[in-house]
Structure 1
Amino acid sequence: MAVSRRLFVTAAAAVAASGGAAPALAAPGGTDLTPAASGGADPAAAGISESPGYRIPVSPDDTEADLVRKASRVRPTARQIAWQNLERTAFLHFGVNTFTGLEWGTGDEDPDVFQPVGLDTDQWARSLRDGGFRLAILTVKHHDGFVLYPSRYSRHTVASSSWLGGQGDVLRAFADSMRRHGIKVGVYISPADENQYLHGVYANGSARSGRTVPELVEGDDRTPTTTYTLDATDYGAHMLNQLYEVLTEYGPVDEVWFDGAQGRIPPDKVEKYDWDSWYALVRALAPDASIAVSGPDVRWVGNEGGLAREDEWSVVPVAEKDYGRTDYALSYDAADMGSRDALVAARPVADHLQWWPAECDVSIRDGWFYHADQQPKSVDQLTDIYFRSVGRNSVLLLNIPPDTQGLLPAADVTRLRQFRERIDRELPEDLARGARTTTGRGVFTVDLGKEREVDRIRLAEDVRHGQQIEHFVIEAHDGDGWRQVTEAGAVGASRILLLPAPVRARRWRVRVTASRATAHIAAFRLYRSDV
């Protein structure tokens, strides 16, 4: 007998944070550094009432000091920490566009055009693993509405193609291969759907009402032990049913990726997406999955070049819109998302400060889908993107599109391997591993035991205690005294600095000069590149 659950999809329920937090980057010890010139007191010591949390409410009446104090109390969830530790993730754009040459399909394609006769998802997984990627996201459904598994709720799927006699299931092969090779599984299900628009479901003006998920169809052999009642339009219910299929029939899913695109429909027809219900179902069926980038766990960095801001903050002002969707209080392409000035600028429109880290998406080729006349980016380009994404407190999402055979192109596979090898040479042995360390007020010092050349520096905060550092300097002792080598602003989970020339010294230190509250250093790593 099935149990029916009514999911109350208030914004709070839809984005409820999980308890507990996993360790962040490996340490030199998670040292507490009280900044020498913080510009902000430790909230606990000051008797502040706000409890640390994933979201903290703000008001137009908050002063700058109030906003900074609240920002210092924002903490990531366990799923967000696990996501940020991935560093390099992959996107796989694959579907009817691969065969039509389009980037945005029309929804009325003949499904028989989809003929990946050499499909080898193990080749995808091996190539991504060898390239250093730890999670991969498949475009299970792109804007054209073509679905890469045999869904019960659409005829625009692989089951309508003669490929494998209508028995093909790309999602099944993908999920099995990724797990077999130690790669986490992500799914992209496009909110926009040209096929469902053509069939009168998308943007049909239907009202939201309670919908039972899963909705059993003729010939359905499922006997769900639990059903869910969620508010949705006709199309919102269609999405809920497909989400249910994906999240209950293909094993554990680690990331669910939505964008906010609207279909290419007449301007008087708009589908207002049921974000709250979609989020609630994902949380119920895949509680450990991060929801990105139109989602409460991960935000889009604001460009498709893979580039984070110089100072990228994970604590940013947000506003809830459109049935509980987490949205930007500032413009998504703002040059500054989380500094003191940004917090103040967002004050009239923000309703929360939230832990909402950035994902930097970019394609290895010019297009998102495979086109035979395009070539992959150079190793130098990919390396620059790495340092300007992973090196700036963000996660890199690199798209590698399979070709019409169903393989990752040989040139792209070679480039992925070269890219991993280059990063391994850029950041080889950590010279500070096992070195003697000392801690002073706002200062963390490493003694390497002898003079060593350094030209790459990696710093990380223990983000279980939030993101606090606003400015720091790196100094080396040259025998006569300490001299500054470089400086930067925000740190977060990962900040990598490239020195213009190697510096030789035995003793190195990071000195925190401005911080919102007590800074917790998780990593201070020194490298001599081999490039």
Structure 2
Amino acid sequence: MKNTKGKFIIIAWLLILTSNSFSQQSIPIPTPAQLQWQNAELAALVCWDLHAHDGEFYVQSQARITPVEDYNIFNPQKYDTDQWIKTLKEAGFKIAILTVSHETGFFHHQSDATPYCMKALKWQDGKGDVLRDFKASCEKYGILPGVYIGTRWNAFYGVYDFKVNGNNQFAKNRQLHYNSMIEKVVEEIFSNYGDWAMVWFDGGAHGPEQGGPDVLSVFEKYQPNCLFYHNLQRADMRWGGSETGTVPYPSWGTFPYPSTGAGESAKEEIHANNFALLKHGDPNGSYYMPAMSDAPLRGHGGHDWFWEPEREHTIYPLENLVEMYYNSVGHNTTLILGVTPNPEGLFPEADASRLIEFGNEIERRFSNPIASTSGRGDIINLELPEMQTVNQVVIMEDIAHGERVREFILEGKTSDDWQEIFKGSCIGHKFIHRFNSTEITELRLKISESTGTPQIKGFNVYNIEK
């Protein structure tokens, strides 16, 4: 009888362990590259292309179809990638991404695959390599490097929305040549410059199934530990549905499809309701694919990803950038700010100063919590040293184990009793909530619904003066 009882106990424990294991396996888990991406929180897209040197206002529709008349307009006399990356480092950015090519089709590296690259320039006797210098500066200052590659539009090669115009044999031959050239360029970038933290294909990248170059297999061969964004087969992150640098709440890190598709609208359900699915994600999605929130620094009364003359008035004021942070990083996404060197090869002083001012303000607000804790389970208590006025909380899940929280209530213990502060759903990597100043002695996080055991990596409370 005792042996039978013991067997039942062992079987019961095995069933519990199996159930827990199944539950954990059913939660999408971020890859190391995705985890690194969300931990970075702040990324910069360094936007440079030939049209930034022509002294004229950039019109995207024209840039996509008009070859640059003279590529030797690229002639920066104060060029200094260290200045770029040192500025970003001081501003608290963790990732920097360089546009090695954009819509002109010009490549800012030494290429054997295309003549339309830095070898063609008089600048530095044709030996310059912005991608090489950018990568070296990132390594010097401890910034994770990323590369942005434009293949969808190429004014030099006459490629529009992935394709050469026409259906005759000439067009077909041109398409085959273009596809082969892009595959070779991508191989150069992925094999000659060391490891990348992420690659971003502008507007997506069509593969062979759609008549385009096979960039995914080249990527997987040379950069297996890198974040891939994106083509019709794979996306390791997703666009957040706008270029405002924000996403609405909630924004889940999971998604129902393995990719979003080129142009973010390959599936009607992704395009529907003003990209609602991209903005919010899907808590029941089978794929871990966190959103990004992107915006140009020069987006206040304009939308300048690339430098233009006399446009400093479009630099976002500090208060706008702070709001952007709360509604991007504070909503479980990484904020990407577009920054741009001027024709001299430097971040303009006004842009650099605003970036550092922004970083200092985020540091001021969040570097010294009144109290902090972490824990596992449905209830996490955070005791304060004494009755204190508080007005903001930051909660973080340990997303290495997946997003588990589905519903929660945040409460504060006042002199009267427990008071509800906020009722929410998604926490993810980071959730920031601001509320009216309240005197409390304790905070309580009550998780009413979860998938698996909730794992709270950080639970911090602040009293932040504006």
TM value normalised by structure 2: 0.83
Taking the TM superposition and a 5 Å limit, the aligned residue runs for 1:420-459 are 420-433=359-372, 442-459=378-395
Alpha-carbon deviation of 1:509? 1.0
Match of 1:93 in 2: 47
Which digits, 9 at most, give the CA deviation of each residue in 1:417-447, with x for residues without a partner? 11011112222312223x6x787x6211011
Taking the TM superposition and a 5 Å limit, the aligned residue runs for 1:448-527 are 448-499=384-435, 501-527=436-462
Q: Which amino acid aligns with 2:371?
A: A
Q: Does 1:398 align with 2:337?
A: yes
CA contact (8 A) 1:131 1:420 kept: yes
Alpha-carbon deviation of 1:258? 1.1
Structure 1 506/50 Cα, relative in aligned 2: closer, same or farther at 3 Å?
closer
Alignment RMSD (CA, Å) = 3.2
Instruction: Report the secondary structure of 2:412's partner residue.
Output: strand
CA contact (8 A) 2:109 2:118 kept: yes
Q: Does 1:75 align with 2:40?
A: no
Deviates more, 1:420-429 or 1:387-396: 420-429
Instruction: Report the secondary structure of 1:399's partner residue.
Output: strand
Alpha-carbon deviation of 1:511? 1.0
Q: Which amino acid aligns with 1:487?
A: K
Instruction: Report the secondary structure of 2:83's partner residue.
Output: helix
Equivalents in 2 of 1:49, 1:131: separation in Å?
41
Equivalents in 2 of 1:438, 1:407: separation in Å?
46
Instruction: Report the secondary structure of 2:183's partner residue.
Output: helix
Q: Does 1:378 align with 2:282?
A: no
Equivalents in 2 of 1:273, 1:513: separation in Å?
49
Equivalents in 1 of 2:267, 2:196: separation in Å?
26
Matched residues, number: 426
Find 1:353's aligned residue among 286, 310, 317: 286
Equivalents in 2 of 1:132, 1:139: separation in Å?
21
Equivalents in 1 of 2:437, 2:40: separation in Å?
29
Consecutive unaligned residues in structure 1, runs of 5 or more: 1-42, 54-69, 208-231, 264-269, 345-351
Equivalents in 2 of 1:194, 1:144: separation in Å?
5
Equivalents in 2 of 1:107, 1:403: separation in Å?
21
Equivalents in 1 of 2:87, 2:118: separation in Å?
24
Q: Which amino acid aligns with 1:92?
A: V
Alpha-carbon deviation of 1:479? 3.4
Match of 2:93 in 1: 133
Which digits, 9 at most, give the CA deviation of each residue in 1:151-191, with x for residues without a partner? 11222222212112222211111111111111111100112
Q: Which amino acid aligns with 1:481?
A: D
Equivalents in 1 of 2:117, 2:375: separation in Å?
60
Find 1:415's aligned residue among 342, 348, 354: 354
Equivalents in 2 of 1:244, 1:284: separation in Å?
9
Match of 2:11 in 1: none
Q: Does 1:280 align with 2:217?
A: yes
Point out the structure with the larger helix share: 2
Match of 1:256 in 2: 199
Taking the TM superposition and a 5 Å limit, the aligned residue runs for 1:359-374 are 359-365=292-298, 366-374=303-311
Alpha-carbon deviation of 1:44? 7.1
Q: Does 1:334 align with 2:275?
A: yes
Q: Which amino acid aligns with 1:239?
A: I
CA contact (8 A) 1:202 1:235 kept: no
Alpha-carbon deviation of 1:280? 2.3
CA contact (8 A) 1:303 1:360 kept: yes
Equivalents in 1 of 2:347, 2:425: separation in Å?
39
Q: Which amino acid aligns with 1:246?
A: I
Equivalents in 1 of 2:460, 2:277: separation in Å?
27
Find 2:229's aligned residue among 285, 292, 298: 292
Q: Does 1:241 align with 2:195?
A: no
Equivalents in 2 of 1:184, 1:273: separation in Å?
33
Equivalents in 2 of 1:179, 1:479: separation in Å?
52
Equivalents in 1 of 2:126, 2:252: separation in Å?
47
Structure 1 296/50 Cα, relative in aligned 2: closer, same or farther at 3 Å?
farther
Equivalents in 2 of 1:485, 1:386: separation in Å?
21
Structure 1 51/206 Cα, relative in aligned 2: closer, same or farther at 3 Å?
farther
Equivalents in 2 of 1:51, 1:481: separation in Å?
36
Q: Which amino acid aligns with 1:502?
A: S
Taking the TM superposition and a 5 Å limit, the aligned residue runs for 1:89-168 are 89-100=43-54, 101=56, 102-104=58-60, 105=63, 106-168=66-128
Equivalents in 2 of 1:337, 1:241: separation in Å?
32
CA contact (8 A) 1:95 1:142 kept: yes
Equivalents in 2 of 1:321, 1:453: separation in Å?
44
CA contact (8 A) 2:49 2:104 kept: no
Find 1:181's aligned residue among 141, 150, 157: 141
Alpha-carbon deviation of 1:196? 2.1
Which digits, 9 at most, give the CA deviation of each residue in 1:196-243, with x for residues without a partner? 2279x9537699xxxxxxxxxxxxxxxxxxxxxxxx954332222111
Equivalents in 2 of 1:178, 1:44: separation in Å?
47
Equivalents in 1 of 2:201, 2:159: separation in Å?
21
Structure 1 44/291 Cα, relative in aligned 2: closer, same or farther at 3 Å?
farther
CA contact (8 A) 2:47 2:305 kept: yes
Match of 2:8 in 1: none
CA contact (8 A) 2:241 2:278 kept: no
CA contact (8 A) 1:149 1:172 kept: yes
Consecutive unaligned residues in structure 2, runs of 5 or more: 1-14, 170-174
Deviates more, 1:511-520 or 1:143-152: 511-520
Q: Does 1:191 align with 2:151?
A: yes
Q: Does 1:387 align with 2:358?
A: no
Structure 1 109/298 Cα, relative in aligned 2: closer, same or farther at 3 Å?
farther
TM value normalised by structure 1: 0.73
Equivalents in 2 of 1:166, 1:297: separation in Å?
36
CA contact (8 A) 1:318 1:326 kept: no
CA contact (8 A) 2:108 2:129 kept: yes
Alpha-carbon deviation of 1:512? 1.3
Structure 1 206/123 Cα, relative in aligned 2: closer, same or farther at 3 Å?
farther
Alpha-carbon deviation of 1:521? 1.2
Alpha-carbon deviation of 1:111? 1.3
